[in-house]
Amino acid sequence: MIVKKNLSIGAILSITGIHIILLTLWCTLVIAIYHFTHWNWLAIPWLPISVIGTAVAFYVGFKNNSSYDRLWEARKIWGGIVNTSRTLIITVRDSFYLHRSEVKKDESDEVKIITNRHIAWLTALRYAMRSKKVWEASYEQNHKMETFSYNIPEYTSTLEEELNPYLSQEEFEYVMSKDNKPNAIISLQSRHLRRLTDEKKIWDFSLLNMQQMLQELTALQGKSERIKNFPYPKQYGSIGYHFVHIFMWILPIAIIPAFANIGSEMADTFPRVSEYFVWLNIPFTVIIIWIFNTMLRIGLAGENPFEGSPNDVPISNISRGITRDILQIIDEDQENIPPQFENENHIQM
């Protein structure tokens, strides 16, 4: 997630610059053929192109709305994970011996085990969300650019390295043997809470309350996995993408008559300007096409909110923020609380 106040025009041009160059070359080629060969038939009437342009504009708007909905849904899911995680640890901490007030035992070790296991769940989930899918864009080249590099923690350390400090050896081996590692960790949490209930350390009604929280976390995990594993439908994405580019490539031909007519009207008063006025088609057409192309790319950038792009939902920072919160809830020593991930080039991951 980009956390700058505004994106500069330079940053936008750095992303779309190659397209501007290609479009300028194409527009120049079209005008050069029209001007030097006098192929007047090369000009297309504006009316059919305007109809296509209207349809394309509707498509781009629909695509951007759909992409933003996916992005915002992902952010709401992880907002739910934040709230439920805090509530779970607070509830676990304060649920021991509610039904046996005469018993006063320090169960901080049990609370710490459950808290660390929840951190492991957060870690496994964010690693699962950052795993690569064939339909997602690849941003490895961007990481090598000094002016556009950004920190993706899941790409700099392995899941094994991150999980090991928060799980026992037996639990670690159990989790790593499963395909869905976050789900395996939730299962361990449920078993642990049930064991504490059987030992009469937690009241039955408290167990039901905490099981509901685990159920909510499982549902939020499933919603996040749904967005990750279900790509934006290609009948909307790919076909519409080609329609937009067809419009962009034929637009220069359609705008020629307008500038040619204006040039003809100026022939008596400004003959020299009139002769070359049609060349003004190039900057105006490039601006129009650049706007359509940039809007299209905005929609493409929001399709997959966990793919490791600068426009992602910042699940790494959210997960680390939860980690810090719940460790502080159980009064963990400050030196044992990991720092928040650093933002590089105003990009939060």
Domain limits, the chain: 80-232+315-349
Q: Is the pLDDT of residue 209 over 60?
A: yes
Res. 253 pLDDT band, cuts 50 70 90: confident
Could you give phi then psi for residue 289, rounded to 5 degrees? -65, -40
Place of tokens 């209930």: 197
**What predicted TM-score, i.e. pTM, was given to this entire model?**
0.82
What per-residue confidence (pLDDT) applies to 144? 52
With beta carbons less than 8 A apart as the criterion, state whether 178 and 153 touch: no
Q: What is the mean pLDDT of residues 121-147?
A: 74
pLDDT above 50: residue 349: yes
- Give the number of C-alpha atoms closer than 13 A to the C-alpha of residue 309, restricted to the C-beta side: 17
Decide if pLDDT at 338 tops 90.
no
Residues 6+ apart with CB under 8 A from 88: 118, 210, 213, 214, 217
Report the share of the chain in percent with pLDDT over 90. Answer: 15
Q: Which pLDDT score, from 0 to 100, does residue 146 have?
A: 46
Span 305-331, pLDDT tens digits: 888 777 788 888 888 899 899 899 888
pLDDT at 215 over 90: yes
266 neighbors 273 (Cβ within 8 angstroms):
yes
User: Taking each helix axis from N to C terminus, what angle separates 46-93 and 108-130, rounded to the nearest 10 degrees?
Assistant: 160
Sign of the alpha-carbon torsion through 253, 258, 264, 267: negative
Element (H, E) at 319: helix 315-329
Contact 186, 210 (CB under 8 A): no
